Amino acid sequence: MNKILSLLGFAAKAGRLSFGYGAAVSSVKSRKSCLVVTAEDISQKSRKEIVFFCGKADIKSLVLEGISIKDVSDAVGRKCGIISVNDSGFADALIKALEQR
């Protein structure tokens, strides 16, 4: 879990993330997004909608199991539960870290 949150923090500092539902959908639609991650405790409606948009654009979306909105917010320095990763290097590193859990 710490590795995932650290990666999100680094990506935030590097300016490679879009924060929140609206920004994530915009990144997905404009094909800037490489991966969308959601905190475990976001609403079912939001999760369903973001998965729909990702599916349409053929972009992977993952739920951060065991990681809350508060955890994500603390890692990236702003309140959000949905994040678009707009860098393939960070996206690959996050996917790898999630698979190793």
CATH code assigned to 2-99 = 3.30.1330.30
- pLDDT recorded at residue 101: 79
Higher pLDDT, 89 or 1: 89
Residue 59: is it exposed, middle or buried by C-beta count within 10 angstroms (0-12/13-18/19+)?
buried
pLDDT tens track for 6-54: 999 999 999 999 999 999 999 999 999 999 999 999 999 999 999 999 9
- pLDDT recorded at residue 27: 97
Task: Give the domain ranges of the chain.
Answer: 2-99
CB of 45 within 8 A of CB of 14?
no
pTM for the whole thing? 0.95
- pLDDT recorded at residue 68: 96
Q: Kindly tell me if the per-residue pLDDT of 1 is higher than 90.
A: no
